[in-house]
Amino acid sequence: MEALYSADIIALQQELAVAMVRADEAEADAANARAINADLEARIALQALQIELLKRDRFGQRSERSQRLIDQLELALEAAEVIASEDEAAAAIAAAKTTTVTAFVRNRPSRQPLPAHLPRTRVVIPSPACCAGCGSDRLSKLGEDITETLEVIPRQWKVIQTVRERFACRACEAISQPPAPFHVTPRGMFGPSLLAMMLFEKFGQHQPLNRQRDRYAHEGVDLSLSTLADQVGACTAALMPLHRLIEAHVLAAVRLHGDDTTVPVLAKVKTDIGRIWTYVRDDRPFGGPAPPAALFHYSRDRRGEHPRDHLAGFCGILQADAYAGYNELFKPGRTPGPVTRALCWAHARRKFFILADVAAQVKRKPDLAPVISPLALEAVTRIDRIFDIERAICGRTTAARLAARQELAAPLVAEFEQWLREQRATLSRHTPVAKAINYMLNDWPAFARFLDDGRICLTNNAAERALRGIALGSKSWPFAGSDRGGQRAAFMYSLIVTAKLNNIDPQAWLADVLARIAEIPQQRLAELLPWNWKAATSITLTAQAA
C-alpha cells in the first residue's frame, strides 16, 4: 500500500509540475500578447501623431484645433509608450520562467547619437588579467567598444566669496582697497545666473515664487518668499533701460500685430479680469531686415483708451481683430497721423469654421445632432485657397508679394466678396452664417487691404502666438497679485518673448545681461538687445573655435 501511495504521490507531483510549466507558458504567452497589443497601440498613437503633423506641414492650419489636437496626440503617445514598455518588461519576466516561450521584443527606431557638444566622461572597465579561454596573461589590445549613456548632474548650489583685501600705506598711513564689484541686487545676495533662473521660471515657465521656494528648500537652500520677491523687483528696475530700447524698436515699425488676452487680478472680494496687451513687430514675412520684438502692456480693463495710449506715437499699419477699442487710432484727424487698419482673415475664417466643424459641435452640444452648414464649408474652402497663396509668398520682398497677390489672390478675393454678398441677400440676418458674413462685409476694405500692400499679412497670428504662452501658463498661477504685479509681468514678457522671437535662450541672455548691464556705457546699451547679443555671442564662439 505504501508503495502504491508513493507512486500516486509521484504521479501527482509530476502532473503538478507539468501543470505549472503549462501555466507558466500560458502566463508567458498572455504576457507576450499583452506586450504585442500595447506595442501596436503605441505604433497607432505614433502614426496618428505623424499623420497630423504631416497634414499640418502640408496644408498649414487646417483646423483651429490643430495645435490642441497635436498636444492631445502627444499625450496619448506618451501614455501608450509607457504601457508598451511596462508590458514588454512583464513579458520578459514571464518568459524567463519557461524554456519554450521567447519574450516579445519591441522594434525601436535606431538610436540617434547623443549631442556632440556635451562633455564626455570616460569610465573604463578594468581589463581581464588573463585569457578566459586558456588562462594566459599574454593579452594585446585590439580596440574598444564604447557605450554612451546620457546622464544629468543634479543642480549644485554654491556660495561665491568675493574678497577685497585692504592695504595700509607705511608712508602716509592711507588705507587702500579695491572697489566693491557690481551686484545686480542690493547687498549682492544672489548671482546673475540664479536671478535669471528665477525670472525665467516665474515669467517664462509660469512657476510662482512660492513653488520655487519650496523646490529650493527640498534642495537644502531655505529662502523666504519675501526675499525672492525682493530680488525680482530689483531685477525689474535694473532691466528697465533695456525694456525702453525694445519698446522704441517695436513702436518704430511700419506694421504691428496687436491683440490682448485676459488675466485674473486679485481684488478685495474676488478676482477682477485684467488684460495683457501685446504689440509684435515681425518684418520677416515681407523680407524686412529689422529683428522681431514684442511689447506687452497690462491694464485693469479693456477700454479703448489703453491701446490709444500704448500706440500714441505710432502711425503705421495695425493688424488686429475688429475690436472697437482700436477705432480711435484710425480717425483721419489723429496726431501724429491715422493708423492704417488691416483685419485678420484667421478671425473671419474661424467664425465660418465653427459652423462647419462637426467635432466641435458635438463637444459643445452632445445631445444634439451636429449640423454642417454648406455655406460655411464653402466659405472655409474659398478662404483656404487664399491662404495657400500666402504660404507660398511668405518671406519674399514687398514688391514680390504685392505682384503675386495682384495676379493670384485678387481674383479669388473679388469672387469671394461677390459670393458673400449674393449669399447674404438670401439669408435672414439672425442666422449664424449671416452673422459670420456680416463680420467680413461690414469691414471689407480692411480685410482686402492686404491686396494693395505687400507688407500686410493675411492674419494676426504673430500676436496670437506671442500671447499663447500667457494663456497656457495662466493655468499654473491663480491670479496676478496686484496691478503692479500685472505691469511687472507685462514688462518681463516683453523681454522673454523678444528673446524667443530671436531664437535665443531667454535664461542665458538674462544672466549675461544682469551681469553686465550696470557696467556697460549707456551709448553701448543696445549691444545687450537680443538680436545684437546673439550676433556677438556667435562671433565669440567662432573665434574660440578657431
Choosing from 61, 96, 131, the residue where a domain stops is 96
More confident residue, 130 or 357: 130
Q: Which of 47, 73, 96 is the last residue of a domain?
A: 96
Question: Backbone dihedral region of 45: left (phi > 0), alpha (psi from -120 to 50 degrees) or beta?
Answer: alpha
More confident residue, 516 or 63: 516
Classify residue 216: in a domain, yes or no. Answer: yes
Residue 444 in domain: no
Cell of 106: 519591441
> What pLDDT band is residue 64 in, cutting at 50, 70 and 90?
very low
pLDDT, tens digit, for every residue of 469-507? 887 766 666 556 677 778 888 999 999 999 999 999 999
> Which of 73-82, 186-195, 279-288, 472-481: highest mean pLDDT?
279-288
And the C-alpha cell for 211?
513653488
Q: Which residue has the higher pLDDT, 117 or 49?
A: 117
CA dist., res. 476 & res. 466, Å (int): 18
Q: What is the structure's pLDDT at 46?
A: 78
Strands (E), 138-206: 167-168, 175-176
pLDDT band at 106 (very low <50, low <70, confident <90, very high): confident
Within a domain: residue 215? yes
Stretch 102-116: mean pLDDT, rounded?
Answer: 76
Number of separate domains in the chain? 2
Helical (H) or strand (E) element with 362: helix 358-364
Statement: residue 365 has pLDDT above 80: no
For the CA atoms of 8, 14, 17, 19, what is the dihedral angle to 10 degrees?
-80
Residue 474, in any domain of the structure: yes
Band (36; pLDDT cuts 50, 70, 90): confident
Mean pLDDT of 364-386: 79
How big is the CA angle at 509 (ends 465 and 249), to the nearest 5 degrees? 60
pLDDT in tens, 392-405: 999 999 999 999 99
Looking at the DSSP bridge assignments, the partners of residue 276 are 261, 298
Predicted pLDDT of residue 419: 96
The pLDDT of residue 22 is 83
Residue with cell 445631445: 367
Q: What is the pLDDT of residue 543?
A: 56
* pTM, rounded to two decimals: 0.77
Q: Is residue 485 in some structural domain?
A: yes
Mean pLDDT of the chain: 85
Least confident of 50-64, 267-281, 369-383: 50-64
- Residue 197 has what pLDDT? 94
Residue 74 pLDDT grade (very low, low, confident, very high; cuts 50, 70, 90)? low
Question: Which pLDDT value is given to residue 56?
Answer: 67
Residue 270 reports pLDDT greater than 90: no
- Closest C-alpha to 197, from 488, 466, 469, 496: 496
pLDDT digits (tens, 9 = 90+) for 80-103: 776 777 777 788 888 888 878 888
Residue with the three cell numbers 537680443: 530
Domain that holds residue 247: 191-260+277-300+467-546
Residue 4: the pLDDT is: 58
Residue 371 lies in a domain: no
Question: pLDDT: is 138 or 251 the higher one?
Answer: 251
User: What share of the chain has pLDDT > 70, as a percent?
Assistant: 86
pLDDT for 59 beyond 70: no
pLDDT digits (tens, 9 = 90+) for 296-309: 999 999 999 999 99
Q: Please list, residue by residue across 208-236, b when 16 or more beta carbons sit within 10 angstroms of its beta carbon and e when fewer do.
A: bbeebbeebeeeeeebeeeebbebbebbb
In this structure, which amino acid lies at residue 184?
Answer: V
Q: Express as a percent the part of the chain with pLDDT over 90.
A: 43
Q: What is the mean pLDDT of residues 14-22?
A: 82
Of 116-130, 148-162, 177-191, 420-434, the poorest mean pLDDT is in: 177-191
Q: What is the mean pLDDT of residues 265-282?
A: 82
CA 73 from chain centre, in angstroms, equals: 17
Burial state string for 349-387 with b = 16 or more CB within 10 A and e = fewer than 16: bebbbbbbbeebbeeeeeeeeeeebebbeebbebbeebb
Q: What is the DSSP letter of 503?
A: T
Average pLDDT over residues 28-37: 83
Q: Is residue 164 part of a domain?
A: no
Beta pairing class for 167-168 and 175-176: antiparallel
CA distance 333 to 327: 12
Tell me, yes or no, whether 478 lies in a domain.
Answer: yes
